[in-house]
Each structure stands twice: as C-alpha cells, then as structure tokens.
Amino acid sequence: MTAHATTSATDPVLAEVRNHIGHLTLNRPAGLNALTLDMVRSLRRHFDLWANDPQVQAVVLRGEGPKGFCAGGDIRSLHDSFKAGETLHETFFVEEYALDLVIHHYRKPVLVLMDGFTLGGGMGLAQGCDLRVVTERSRLGMPEVGIGYFPDVGGSYFLSRIPGELGTYLGVSGAQIQAADALYCGLADWYLASDKLAALDHGLDQLRFGDHPLKDLQNLLAGLGTQVLDDAPLEKLRPVIDHFFALPDVPAIVEQLRTVSIGDSHAWAVATADQLESRSPLAMAVTLEMLRRGRHRSLEDCFAMELHLDRQWFQHGDIIEGVRALIIDKDKQPRWNPPTLAALQRQRVEQFFEGL
C-alpha cells in the first residue's frame, strides 16, 4: 500500500493517496472549514490531477474536525472585497461553481462525508458527489436567505429537484435538516453512525478495487450503514409544505401559514411564518423565482443563472447588509431593502433575471 502526501499539515486542504483512493480534507476547522478561494483552487487542482491518474480509482472528500464538513464560503472575505472595490467576490463564485461542476461530472466515484455542518458551499461540493454520507451530527442546509443572499452553488438545480415543494421550503426558509430528512429528500445516500467512520477509513484502506469502483464503495458502505432512517420530520410535513410552498409568491405563503390550518401543523406553520419574516424579503422572492426557473433548466444553465444573479447581487441585493448585521457588527438587526414583503415590488425581482 503506497501513500504519498501532496500537502503539508498546515495547508487549508490536505491531500493524499492511499490504496488507490485520493483523500481530500478541508482543513480550516476553526472556521468550520468554510471555503476560501485558495481552498477552491487546491481542490480543483487535485480533482484535475487525479482525473487522469490511473493509480487513483476514487476520491473521498471530508472536513477536518467533528463540527463540520463545510459551513459554506468565507463570506466575510467576499464582503470585504466588494467594499474595497476589489474583484475577489466575482472571481470566487466563478471558480467555486466551476469546481462544483467538475465534481458533478467527475468520471471516478466521489464519496463525501457530510459529518457536522454542511451548509451553502459545503452543499455545493457534496451534491455533485456519487456517495453522500450523513451521520447523526449532520446539519444540512442552504441558509443564504438569512444573510440576504440566495441558495447558489447549484441550489437552483438540486433543491428544485427534491420531490414536491420540499426544496422550495428549504431554499426560501433556509431551514436546516438532519440525517433522516437528508435521506428522505434525496440530499444524502447513506447514513453512518459517526462511531463507524474509523471502520469506514479502515475499510477504504483495505478495499480491493475490481472493474466497478463505485460498486466496491457501495458494498463497503452497505456493511456499515443504511440508506433509510425512520421518522423523517419532513415526511410527515410533506402534504402541508406541498400546499403552502406551491402558492404563487412569498407574501401568499406567509399569509396562509398564519391563517390556514392543515391537520395538526398549526404550530409549525406559525413558527415557519415567523422564520420567513426574519429573512430578507428580496432574497426570498428571488430564491422562489430562481427555484421555479431551475426546475426546467439543465445543471449548466442553473449555474449560469446563479452567476447572472451574483453579478448584480452585491450591488443591488441584501448580502452586504446581511453580513454586516450577522457577521461584522453582530447586532442581528439587518435593515433589509425593502424591509417588508408588502413593500417589495414584483418588478424588482424580475429585474435580476433580465438578460438571462
């Protein structure tokens, strides 16, 4: 068994090949492994290198530390770039989306361990992988509307393809889900208890690859985990979510959540309405429009649509104010523009999609 490390222990991405498997570890545990441009470029370099290396049969992607696989992009640095009149915030999204697309189209199986927080940019990396593994510590979500942004990194593709309106709910509310819901929504493939991760690593180091590396990895996972968990909360809420989140716009969704009772879901509905009213009205409305358009677009077209929105969003969206309120000043009192759903004009939403 040969092992050749290609990185040093302090690098933001650790890379090594063991037993014909390329291992990539996001190595910023203090920042919940949030992605920087350097990390995006390092990941891309290794994926490109291993794509053509006959010694590498598969790739395993994970985050350092027990708290998170990847809690998104390093949004603070993007805020600072825009404020300083620099271009990092533009370059970052172009290269991040290109990396996500590489993973979606990768010809060798990619296994991702979504242990702990897997949010935003972390979901972008994970959803293109062939084998997406969750544990009891997993917290998955696209929480962008909470900082005045929209679910990107392919969210317009993978959220819009979840059955019913579950993906609409996840995108517009920014709600986080755990393992059972991740499997139920098709955002994960396997559940493994976190105390089995060491056994998985041992199995990976001993694995004998045949002609079908993906099948070999699936067989290994099948001996350690399961593909279905009982008691997925979203399964019970599905009829309710399908009703409310199919409504024509966000104001209608909020109004009906407050006034229409379906079964015993009233407490959930009111809590959800409260949650929506704390989010950026503009971000939620653009998200709803984006997800509905994404249903009928290819993966590439979804990424192009998100990039089209990105190019306008720092100037005309709510992200700069969201980052100020939640990350910089931490007053948690964002002054959204407009401040309420009632004040949001439809034309303002549609302008973002002009020229697509």
Provide Rg for the chain, Cα atoms.
20
Catalytic residue among 152, 165, 289, 318: 152
Concerning whether 171 is annotated as a catalytic residue, the answer is no
| Strand order through the sheet with 190-191 | 3-5, 13-18, 21-26, 58-63, 110-114, 131-134, 190-191
Alpha-carbon span 27 to 12, nearest angstrom: 5
For residue 28, which of 75, 68, 61 has the smallest C-alpha distance? 68
73 flagged as catalytic: yes
Q: Which amino acid is at 325?
A: A
Q: Please tell me the distance from the alpha carbon of residue 125 to that of residue 147, in angstroms, as a whole number.
A: 20
Which residues touch 154 (CB under 8 Å, ≥6 apart)?
Answer: 97, 100, 101, 104, 124, 127, 128, 299, 302, 303, 306
How far apart, in Å, are the Cα atoms of 164 and each of 115, 117, 170, 234?
26, 25, 12, 11
Return the number of other C-beta atoms located less than 10 Å from residue 243's C-beta. 17
Catalytic residue of the set 63, 72, 73, 124: 73
Q: Which of 130, 144, 181, 289 is catalytic?
A: 144
User: 144 an active-site residue?
Assistant: yes
Residue 52's CB is within 10 A of a number of other CB atoms, namely: 8
Catalytic residue among 63, 68, 72, 121: 121
Please say if 152 is a catalytic residue.
yes
Q: Which residues are catalytic?
A: 73, 121, 144, 152
